[in-house]
Chains A and B, each alone.
Chain A
């Protein structure tokens, strides 16, 4: 579903899964023989494929998938079955109407044993008629929140047979007699996940940038009420409350842009290492991108809605473009790893790193701040409490404050987890009872990473004026985060009451400083009107006349008198 964002930026299309998942999976998981058989027909669109993993009853927890593929050595075929209603494949894009093949993930059974999930190439529709093949039930799952263009589908298989050679066998294999041959390593699958999640981070930045562009341009065009009695109505962007809604989001859009670029670059660098066999950085990057995927998509999701609300009533009209940005973006909180689950993956890595540090080892990378804990272990109080002197106008100093917050929340979560374990609870139970703390720790860690990356970016900007305005945005981003999470900073004394008051004051000053550059800052995103798809966010600002033109095209306006008048209204009026 998400894959449209790198297949072609903008609107989703039914062939996205074919191009974004079916073909790449063939490339990475098929044997040379299978590539010969399937790749060129698929490339030429004789085969239109999709990728069927998620089932009605199972998403993020892959081991729970129920579809079975049982090997029959007598005929050298796999027999595919959807044994329960919950096992029906559900959601794959392009499955409902478009595709004639699917890569299906199923539990492999051979010689009476379950060998876990494997991928199979399954023909689902007849060539020529496009009708479902016998044993296949396939259809569209019905309307969704957005994504109307995509035929997300369901797929049910009843004793459906495919040849042995249709299992993707580059890694694991089933021999003709049913002997199972294990794959060598599964670390490489990390790589794909990291890559896809880095795309979501980029998509968060882009979607939020689009919403900000619309809301900020419109706020410069819209006039309302009065600030000074007797004067003309001011632009709504002159209201402090409006600036407070929009400018932190603008800063966030910039921040996420840099984060997305960082992950992509790091991934490129590491994947260079992968071919050389050095995978040492992969676990950390994997853990980090899980959390950042969740952190950025949650924030962007809320931010897009705030942009829409900031446009008042007109934001609610489809002509604003923001409703469509929202419905297209919001599922990214769920797909490619549900966000809470992602946060907990990052937490697992953080706790592991913390445990290492407490047992005297050093950790590297983004979590290296945890090393400081070992030096402070002799002291009884919280880690963060002593060291930081925060200068609220210095991004580097704010990075330290975020670091201290992350350290303290990771430590608190790890300690709470240990306390639960000491109550002789099972590991899983203890983990579950600490998971709210763990998610908070992950969020704090991700927040720190974002502030750090944004700050690091500043020194790379050579143009002084650009650096100045980005520094203001960076400060705004960091201070806004503090003011929204003051509890974390106050509770352990990273900041004092007086500093928090200063932060809030400085924040408001920054709003006024950024105000003159606000439109220029969204213009820099360089979205064309066609791509933006918004009447409110037009570059030329001619909002009202174009809203009228847009409305005239509404389907309800096709005839001057709507048919329901003749059918319902007129009979009612004449009866009385």
Chain B
């Protein structure tokens, strides 16, 4: 039976949940496949996450390894392959708690950076898991800035080997996943030296543990870096190399090679390296960022119709907390953002696919745009979603802080995404560099990519809206975003030029404008997100029931953004004070409308209870019973308190004997 408080929410849905789910999945076939994969994984007790919240770091690591090993078997049994339609749903079904993700990066990096010969040698070994790989780039003292890496690889002509060293403590490899305990091999990045000359950072395959007994190889110091905010199932590791020798053939050499006599040869374009980074950034968005925020919304919204508090009408039953305007104002914009970013992911995927097609034709023209957008959106989406999950957590009152709610682990996991694969501020500045370049080009009448042509037409304007209903027009608000982004980019470009013209050196001028540049990059991404949402809604014409609610969400996403960044829209008088009041009114009017469909809108994400693993967010809404049941499974309840035996008993007994 379903809790009547949540059942009633489903009876009034304005659209078909199943239809929305299918549309989000991109067709009935996908929905069927996804559900089949989820069912196969969740019905297998080896993959159970039942006790996850009660496990120690050691236990979680071991469980993740066990699951990874079992997954190999499972895939074989089910006939799932890496190129099959099921593959992309496996990770979502496992909810992430599985080892050897870096092993896949290891494989990917060899396929991308290795010569045909290297691929032929290493990939089969890795695919059959005869070795376990990791990917060692980041060092204790250096992360995002790759040129700063300090590990060295010196070529020794006499033995035809590279000698790898960690010259000082800040040069230790630090953070690579799977490296602390599991990996036997790693791709280590090091500064290449030939006859005293430095050739920059290159990748080398290094064996770190014995294939026989897993002990560390000579010259290798490696281990786990200790507990983190989350990812306790991953053995993020450290690695120090002391005169470790690897054969000349172990330098990955698709683009460059050291020949036996020590000659350094480079060929091909290194631009393709960017492509690897962008592919990783785009692929992490859906699994690591958008899925978690969708889960957090599901949990918080379902709980908010079960939890009742205080009275809205005197003498009546306590109200569902979702009926409070302040609660709606916390959660519904996050829900709208989850949808907005789900669609942005599609947008980026399409941009990626198109670029890939062009690259195969040796046309690299689209690469800068793809790189700029994937950087900017990685930053904007991870940051927005991280704070969205935290809002969901705190919107669940005290119970949100219980691990059993599922929210703390979603939060501590998603927030790492703001750092890995490029620190967000640095990524925004990369996007800004692209935008400034495009702005200059557009101002000079040169051609720019279609997504930034608006930069050619930045000029003072006024918003034409006359009443609050006008602000429900996508043209009106998209235009407002476009104007705001254009103004921020053009004024920052002007500031940069002023500084340079007044004699400030270019790099100093850049540093002095970075705060503004980062804001401009965010504004651009926000504009594209709004525009893309509006376009997505427009294309839905054939599905009227869904289109209506999606339109409301799109309006909410857009107006919430204006409401919370009012200054940016008021600044040059694009919006007047009176218009801002209209925006606020329209925005607040949307809340109770979307409130009615809130539960169906999260139901449509179609997460199973097992995948949510939350006592607060289950489909049936039996929150309190579940919380009580789960708490009793806590190991602390299965034993007499050791603290009682050790400390309290002597304390209390001494007192007793005195009485």
Contact in complex: A569, B565 (CB < 8 Å):
no
Report if A142-B568 is in contact (Cβ < 8 Å); known contacts: A223-B141, A556-B224: no
Contact in complex: A576, B130 (CB < 8 Å):
yes
Nearest CB of A to B612, in Å: 17
Which one of B130, B235, B648, B653 has the highest number of Cβ atoms from chain A below 10 Å of its Cβ?
Answer: B648
Contact in complex: A487, B132 (CB < 8 Å):
no
Q: Please tell me which stretch of A29-37, A519-527, A541-549 contacts chain B, meaning at least 4 of its Cβ atoms lie within 8 angstroms of it.
A: A541-549
Indicate with 1 or 0, residue by residue over B604-630, a CB within 8 angstroms of chain A CB atoms.
Answer: 000000000000000000001101101
Contacting residue for B325 out of A85, A140, A436, A572, CB 8 A:
A436
Contact in complex: A128, B514 (CB < 8 Å):
no
Indicate with 1 or 0, residue by residue over B104-129, a CB within 8 angstroms of chain A CB atoms.
Answer: 00000000000000000000000011
Contact in complex: B580, A551 (CB < 8 Å):
no
Nearest CB of A to B651, in Å: 6
Report if A561-B229 is in contact (Cβ < 8 Å); known contacts: A86-B624, A142-B404, A555-B56: no
Contact in complex: A334, B398 (CB < 8 Å):
yes
Report if A572-B223 is in contact (Cβ < 8 Å); known contacts: A141-B402, A556-B57: no
Contact in complex: A140, B132 (CB < 8 Å):
no
Residues of A within 8 A of B573 (CB): 497
Report if A490-B636 is in contact (Cβ < 8 Å); known contacts: A128-B653, A544-B141: no
Report if A573-B129 is in contact (Cβ < 8 Å); known contacts: A224-B142, A309-B418, A491-B566: yes
- Within 56-98 of A, Cβ neighbours of B (below 8 Å) are at 56-61, 64, 85-86, 88, 90-91, 96-98
Q: Please tell me which stretch of B167-175, B241-249, B364-372, B466-474 contacts chain A, meaning at least 4 of its Cβ atoms lie within 8 angstroms of it.
A: B167-175
Contact in complex: A312, B624 (CB < 8 Å):
no
Contact in complex: B309, A60 (CB < 8 Å):
yes
Contact in complex: B224, A551 (CB < 8 Å):
yes
Contact in complex: A554, B54 (CB < 8 Å):
no
Residues of B within 8 A of A313 (CB): 138, 143, 175, 419-420
Residues of A within 8 A of B630 (CB): 142
Q: Please tell me which stretch of A43-51, A108-116, A187-195, A209-217 contacts chain B, meaning at least 4 of its Cβ atoms lie within 8 angstroms of it.
A: A43-51
**Does B140 interact with chain A (Cβ within 8 Å)?**
yes
Contact in complex: B180, A556 (CB < 8 Å):
yes
**Does A567 interact with chain B (Cβ within 8 Å)?**
yes
Nearest CB of B to A562, in Å: 4
Nearest CB of A to B384, in Å: 14
Indicate with 1 or 0, residue by residue over A409-440, a CB within 8 angstroms of chain B CB atoms.
Answer: 00000000000000000101100111110010
**Does A269 interact with chain B (Cβ within 8 Å)?**
no
- Within 122-142 of A, Cβ neighbours of B (below 8 Å) are at 127-128, 130, 139-142
Contact in complex: A142, B54 (CB < 8 Å):
yes
Residues of A within 8 A of B393 (CB): 145
Contacting residue for B627 out of A56, A315, A327, A487, CB 8 A:
A56
Report if A557-B224 is in contact (Cβ < 8 Å); known contacts: A97-B643, A241-B515: yes
Contacting residue for B567 out of A487, A548, A573, CB 8 A:
A487
How far is A529 from B314 in the complex, measured between Cα atoms in Å?
54
Instruction: Please name the residue on chain B nearest to A319 by beta carbon.
Output: B226
Instruction: Please name the residue on chain B nearest to A62 by beta carbon.
Output: B310
- Within 23-72 of B, Cβ neighbours of A (below 8 Å) are at 53-54, 56-58, 61-62, 65-66, 69, 72
Q: What is the interface residue range for chain A against chain B?
A: 35 or more
**Does A305 interact with chain B (Cβ within 8 Å)?**
yes
Contact in complex: A576, B515 (CB < 8 Å):
no
Report if A59-B314 is in contact (Cβ < 8 Å); known contacts: A556-B235, A561-B215: no
Residues of A within 8 A of B326 (CB): 340, 344, 435-436, 439
**Does B227 interact with chain A (Cβ within 8 Å)?**
yes
How far is A548 from B326 in the complex, measured between Cα atoms in Å?
46
Contact in complex: B144, A224 (CB < 8 Å):
yes
Contacting residue for B631 out of A140, A333, A340, CB 8 A:
A140
Residues of A within 8 A of B132 (CB): 569
Which one of A58, A233, A548, A555 has the highest number of Cβ atoms from chain B below 10 Å of its Cβ?
Answer: A548
How far is A309 from B419 in the complex, measured between Cα atoms in Å?
7
Residues of B within 8 A of A90 (CB): 398, 627
Contacting residue for A241 out of B518, B644, B649, CB 8 A:
B518
Contact in complex: B129, A572 (CB < 8 Å):
yes
Contact in complex: A227, B425 (CB < 8 Å):
no
**Does A281 interact with chain B (Cβ within 8 Å)?**
no
Q: Please tell me which stretch of B79-87, B274-282, B505-513, B550-558 contacts chain A, meaning at least 4 of its Cβ atoms lie within 8 angstroms of it.
A: B505-513
> Which chain B residues have a beta carbon within 8 Å of chain A's beta carbons?
53-54, 56-58, 61-62, 65-66, 69, 72, 128-130, 132, 138, 140-145, 148, 169-170, 172, 174-175, 180-182, 211, 213-216, 223-229, 235, 238, 307-314, 318, 323-327, 329-330, 390, 393-394, 397-404, 408, 411-412, 415-416, 418-420, 423-425, 429, 505, 507-508, 511-516, 518, 565-573, 577, 580, 588, 624-625, 627-628, 630-634, 636-637, 640-641, 643-644, 648-649, 651-653, 655-656, 659
> Which chain A residues have a beta carbon within 8 Å of chain B's beta carbons?
14, 44-46, 48, 54, 56-61, 64, 85-86, 88, 90-91, 96-98, 100, 127-128, 130, 139-146, 151, 154, 222-229, 233, 239-241, 244-245, 305, 309, 312-313, 315-319, 323, 327, 330-331, 333-335, 338-340, 344, 426, 428-429, 432-436, 439, 483, 485-493, 497, 500, 504, 508, 544-545, 547-548, 550-557, 560-565, 567-573, 576
